[in-house]
Chain A
């Protein structure tokens, strides 16, 4: 099945509303930054993009699912920030938005099957302005309610960094670590899960 179809099916049958809250890591790492231009990879229902826009960022938000983008656009409208977000339907495995960004964020940019995730992240990192940042948040453990197989092996933050093949002289690692968090499942149950956070600043 096509990536687009898989995700459209998920969003078409899932809730049409969203938490309205940004990801915990995003608000912690991007909150202290001075707003500029931002690119979000895999924006889903738009909670992070709306939060960034409310913080003053001009946001380009990409997702492969046109259904998710429809919900995201309605969320942005309701929050009164439509004029600061450009939503783009695009399969990142095929192409990446052009342009320079002060912040690139990718939270839980996971997708079933084999796809060149490291390359996608690396290509997006190329667009970061000197002094700008890339924030990658990814699963490092499996929540009990996750659809991923129980024996899923998660990469470490270092593995993900290695898969991106960035030039070591061009980036400083402001955070490259697992971070624990209490996550809430679809039925309100909670569990402690671990995420990897890669927060890198471009030097030149």
Chain B
């Protein structure tokens, strides 16, 4: 086998997994295509010790730390296909090349599909956002909106007033029941059923939204619920059991980040429907430790029933 462990995806989850294995002096390969989910944001918030730094600066720092360990190899390459081979796995890369590893850690994340409103995607990560904990504080209590794609928007709308005066734009996607209306009113949330047709202000900033009836409503931040899809079909094609999450599928894992396929671990956004950078990193640590243990305690990859 070429490597003890191959990690697919070299961002928060993948690099954190690599660190544990590197410190165990194991031969680790990290494959990455350089497209982490938060690449649209100028700053990353809430990561311990790194609050407000540029996302790529955090990743570069993690990579630089790993560079000190001699058993880690980085490759800027896409993993295309994986299959079981002997007591490990065979991975083929985009360039047509193939390699082998005794264990796999899937950390390739998810990608977002945004609602289809003109001007929305240009503002993604700056004034169009999905996570108030990540970027709500910086909006500095200015007017906020929630663009609903379904009833799940209720939850976001209930939270948001802690970050700024909030309007819930239902976009006709659902009609809040009387009880829901009362809850929103108690939080001071305004309701608007007329759909948003345009976003106004110099992108990527937002100043207001225009509605179908021509009215303009001030908003410095608009919160959306993107649909998510895995960045790769590797986990599915290996046969890993997936689950339906609130925004898209994710891989089912146990407390040790093991998937349903022996020898395959998964961490980060691909294995958690509610992850952020810190949770992805923590899950990566666990996946790294668990993959290492599995090399020792389950050397022949016996199929656990």
Which of B150, B236, B244 has the largest count of A CB atoms less than 10 A from its CB? B236
Q: Find out whether the CB atom of B150 lies under 8 angstroms from the CB atom of A181.
A: no
Known: A20-B150, A25-B236, A54-B116. A32 touches B241 (CB 8 A): no
What's the minimum C-beta distance from B183 to chain A, rounded to whole angstroms? 23
> Binary interface profile of A, 44-63, with partner B (CB < 8 Å = 1, else 0)?
00000001001110000000
State in angstroms the CA–CA spacing of A21 and B228 once bound together.
12
State in angstroms the CA–CA spacing of A69 and B72 once bound together.
54
What's the minimum C-beta distance from A84 to chain B, rounded to whole angstroms? 10
Mark the stretch among A99-107, A119-127, A170-178 that contacts chain B.
A170-178
Q: Find out whether the CB atom of A181 lies under 8 angstroms from the CB atom of B241.
A: yes
Known: A29-B236, A174-B81, A174-B233. A180 touches B241 (CB 8 A): yes
Q: Find out whether the CB atom of A177 lies under 8 angstroms from the CB atom of B239.
A: yes
- Interface residue B230 (Cβ < 8 Å from any Cβ of A): yes
Q: Find out whether the CB atom of A174 lies under 8 angstroms from the CB atom of B237.
A: yes
Known: A174-B237, A197-B236. A24 touches B150 (CB 8 A): no
What's the minimum C-beta distance from A164 to chain B, rounded to whole angstroms? 19
- Interface residue B249 (Cβ < 8 Å from any Cβ of A): yes
Q: Find out whether the CB atom of A24 lies under 8 angstroms from the CB atom of B242.
A: yes
Binding site for B on A (CB under 8 A): 20-21, 24-25, 27-32, 51, 54-56, 78, 80-81, 174-175, 177-182, 197, 199
State in angstroms the CA–CA spacing of A27 and B243 once bound together.
11
Q: What residues of A have a CB within 8 angstroms of the CB of B248 in the complex? A: 27, 31
Q: Which of B150, B229, B260 contacts A55 (CB 8 A)?
A: B229
What's the minimum C-beta distance from B232 to chain A, rounded to whole angstroms? 5
Which secondary structure dominates chain B's binding surface? mixed
What's the minimum C-beta distance from A199 to chain B, rounded to whole angstroms? 7
State in angstroms the CA–CA spacing of A180 and B242 once bound together.
8
Binding site for A on B (CB under 8 A): 81, 111, 113, 116, 150, 172-173, 227, 229-233, 235-237, 239, 241-244, 248-249, 260
Which of A32, A51, A174 has the largest count of B CB atoms less than 10 A from its CB? A32
Q: Which of B173, B230, B231, B239 contacts A179 (CB 8 A)?
A: B239
Q: A27-B248, A27-B249, A54-B227 are in contact. List 14 more A-B contacts (CB 8 A).
A: A24-B242, A28-B230, A28-B249, A29-B237, A31-B230, A31-B233, A31-B248, A31-B249, A32-B111, A78-B173, A175-B237, A179-B241, A181-B242, A197-B237
State in angstroms the CA–CA spacing of A80 and B249 once bound together.
22
Q: What residues of B have a CB within 8 angstroms of the CB of A54 in the complex? A: 113, 116, 227
Q: What residues of B have a CB within 8 angstroms of the CB of A80 in the complex? A: 116
Q: Find out whether the CB atom of B236 lies under 8 angstroms from the CB atom of A182.
A: no
Q: Find out whether the CB atom of A31 lies under 8 angstroms from the CB atom of B243.
A: no
Q: Which of A28, A30, A78, A177 contacts B242 (CB 8 A)?
A: A28
The 7 closest A-B pairs by CB, nearest first: A31-B229, A175-B237, A28-B236, A29-B233, A27-B249, A180-B241, A32-B232
State in angstroms the CA–CA spacing of A85 and B116 once bound together.
15
State in angstroms the CA–CA spacing of A80 and B242 once bound together.
28
Q: Find out whether the CB atom of B113 lies under 8 angstroms from the CB atom of A32.
A: no
Q: What residues of B have a CB within 8 angstroms of the CB of A199 in the complex? A: 233, 237
12 residue pairs of the A-B complex, CB under 8 angstroms, read A20-B150, A24-B244, A27-B229, A27-B230, A27-B248, A31-B248, A31-B249, A175-B236, A180-B241, A181-B241, A182-B241, A182-B243
